[in-house]
Chains A and B, each alone.
Chain A
Amino acid sequence: MHKKSAAEKVILTLLTVLVIIFFMFPIVWLVTTAFKYGRDAFAIPPKWFLFDWTFKNFQEALDNAATGKFILNSLIISTGATTLSLALGVPAGYAIARTKSRLINLSSYFFLLLLMVPPIAMLIPFYLIMRDVHLLGSYWAVILIDTAFDASFVVWMMRSYFADVPREMEEAAWVDGASRIGAFFKVALPLSIPGVAASALYTFIYSWNDFLFALMLTSPKTKTIPLGILASFSAVEIGWGRMATLSVFAIIPAVIISLFLNRYFVQGLTMGATKG
């Protein structure tokens, strides 16, 4: 291997620093703005760290009954969609990975295609259908449409995961008299917990971050955090402080997953995208 010269090292370090600054400054701005009084938020020149830190915005957000409701609704919808997607998607992923039937096998591409459908194209008819069955505004409306996308992802992801799990143990279970389905639950599933976890993270984040579906399908009682963030803007003033504070609540899962569970998240991303 070539040795890197000193000059090259400096340039590479410099580039790395630039990359870090570019990707991190908006997040730093967001988080610090949540701790600023209005006058510091609009200060020119900008104040990055030396300003009067305050919990005023958080105090106000927590005093407002709506904030808790938004977070709770987001949790209900994300948890609901994740649970349903796993319950439907994991067995289907297993079936596709193990079957010799060409038809079932082909259905994996069908799920992949579904994953590509632009959300707005699905939302227009879905809105009308939900209206006709009187589910508009319920948690179910959002959970169901989220699951259509989430579950398709889970199938695609779990299919490649199960394909990497050796069959021998399942075959041994068959010999011991277990059914195909029994072997899935007793043998294959426990071996694939990391894959399930990666799928769960991805689907949770997807539902948590959703804005378009929630915008059209929720009611004032089932509103999620992104909609709450949007309402922090008024005709009276630019509501950066309120927006930043609610956003801090909204980004908690993203930050936790990125920093502490990144291995599984990355696995989900790369597998979902590339493994055939």
Chain B
Amino acid sequence: MQKMKVALYLVLALTLLVGMVGCGPAATEAPAEPPAEEAPTAVPPEATTAPPMEEAKPYEGVELSLASMTDQYVAAFRYLIPVFEEETGIKVVMDELGYVDLRTKTVADFVGDTAQYDLMTVDIVWSGEYGANGYTLALDDFMARDAEEMNLDDIMPVAWTLGEWEGKHYAFPLAGYANVLNYRADLLAEAGIEPPATQEELLAAAQALTKEDGSQYGIALLGAGSAGAQDFMAFVQQHGGTILDADGNVKVNTPENVAILEFFGSLFDYAPPGAADYWWDQRESAFRDGIVAMMEGWSIARAGYENPEISNIVGLVDITKAPVSEGMEPQYGFGGWGIGINADSDPVKQEAAWEFIKWVTSEEVQKEWLRHDGAPIRRSTLTDPELVAEYPWLPLMLESFEKGNGDYRPRFPQYSIVEDALGTYVNAFLTGQETAQDALDKAQTQIEANMP
């Protein structure tokens, strides 16, 4: 009895202690120092440019809650938010969430009318759903009001697909990604292989670059869940296919798509054995680990390969346009993130949230945004000589953006139903559970059953 009492107090004391240790830093809130970064320009971007304004802080004291995907750009948010808070007196509390959880939590927030988040990063593929259902605020009035200071013409035309739906803007372009082919210049040179320019060459190169003993694989791919579905759709686009029929209805089980799925499957023969289970994090880790020669992926990850803290392949990577099927008019997958304002939020918070969007997407801040692992949306950023010198792949991104297709994943309100079914059955095909035809037939059935 006595012993137990002592032990109980011990538990209580320990939990309290843990709680206190954990809470300690909470009082100080935002990190005092910006995280370490490669670029030496740690000067807050607007500290020099913004003139001291008397009436400058109309929303001082407003607290905003931001839901952000833990993509590369989250590092830029971590760095920039304290700067923004300093300048405007608006407090921004960021909640970092993984891809699946971000969607679940924000949609739950919308349908529950709970307004837990005022700002949220919106994947390009969710923009239709958020717009059609009125989850996020249409930003057009704000944009018209502040058009002059925002220089909207500077934003790449394709970037508007990040948040546009039926003529209105439900998310503002935040981070534009181009689908590109990353490859190990050293390995390709060693094998005497030119960077593949077509899908057919990609398959041949992947085969040639795979070593029997398992020490090197040709290509890294995505095979599971949302990631697998999206990678498959990227290949459908690169083969000139579509998952919609002429009337815009979902039709995934066409003979063309079955053939493309089979092609996609044959690439997996030259991918690391675990690839059928890869999400983005595992694919990135495999490429940076140095066991893979090529990887198609979003341009935002490019800078990370030069960071010795996380990469074994510093200085070895080159980048080229994503190969399309032979004879096809080149068109490149475009993706990325917009940032939206919760339609249920209080109007004052919505105004303050708009201030944040304007600020973070402004020409001046975009430079720092890019330098801290953000991704560009403005022509001025992509062509800035200083930045091009630091990031020599920007011209290639510019070209990909100009021929970018942001709609190869249909951005309609039922997109997530399509993605879920494709994710399940593409994976079923890759793991040998279904043939390509059966997999897409079942995906089609599932999509039709779940459509409202």
Contacts and interface: CB of A to CB of B under 8 A. Distances in A.
A221 B301 CA distance: 31
B22 A72 contact: yes
A187 interface: no
B18 interface: yes
Given A136-B112, A249-B18, A261-B4, A231 B25 contact: no
Contacts of A67: 22, 25
Interface in A89-106: none
Nearest to B74: A234
A236 B28 contact: no
Main secondary structure of the interface of A (DSSP, over half): helix
A219 to B, nearest CB: 4
Given A235-B70, A235-B99, A261 B114 contact: no
A252 B15 contact: yes
Contact of B25 (A63, A197, A263): A63
A231 B70 contact: yes
Contact of B18 (A66, A231, A252, A264): A252
A233 B104 CA distance: 16
Contacts of A137: 112, 114, 116
B280 interface: yes
Contact of A65 (B18, B26, B114): B26
B281 A235 contact: yes
Interface in B55-73: 65, 67, 69-72
Interface stretch (B90-98, B233-241, B321-329, B383-391): B90-98
A86 interface: no
Q: What is the interface residue range for chain B against chain A?
A: 35 or more
Given A71-B18, A235-B99, A236-B304, A220 B23 contact: no
B95 A220 contact: yes
A15 B23 CA distance: 44
Given A68-B26, A220-B65, A257 B11 contact: yes
A199 B253 CA distance: 55
Interface in A16-70: 38, 42, 62-70
A63 B23 CA distance: 10
Interface stretch (B154-162, B164-172, B262-270, B282-290): B282-290
B57 to A, nearest CB: 23
Contacts of B19: 68, 71-72, 75
Contact of B284 (A62, A194, A236, A257): A236
A167 interface: no
Contacts of B65: 220
B11 A235 contact: no
A71 B22 contact: yes
Interface in B271-323: 279-282, 284-285, 288-289, 301, 304, 309-310
A237 interface: yes
Contacts of B108: 136, 216
A158 B65 CA distance: 44
Nearest to B279: A235
A182 interface: no
A233 B99 CA distance: 9
B229 to A, nearest CB: 15
Interface string A160-202: 0000000000000000000000000000000001100100000
Contacts of B281: 233-239
A62 B22 CA distance: 6
A66 B111 CA distance: 26
A119 to B, nearest CB: 17
B282 A63 contact: no
Given A230-B98, A256-B11, A261-B7, A69 B26 contact: yes
B20 to A, nearest CB: 8
B8 A261 contact: yes
A254 to B, nearest CB: 11
Closest 3 CB pairs of A and B: A68-B22, A234-B70, A68-B23
Given A70-B22, A223-B95, A256-B11, 19 more contacts: A65-B26, A67-B25, A68-B26, A71-B23, A134-B114, A136-B112, A137-B116, A197-B8, A215-B101, A230-B101, A231-B70, A231-B97, A231-B98, A231-B101, A234-B281, A235-B280, A236-B310, A253-B11, A253-B15
19 contacts: A62-B21, A66-B95, A68-B21, A68-B24, A69-B22, A69-B23, A69-B26, A70-B22, A131-B113, A220-B65, A220-B93, A231-B70, A233-B281, A235-B99, A236-B70, A236-B301, A249-B22, A252-B15, A260-B7
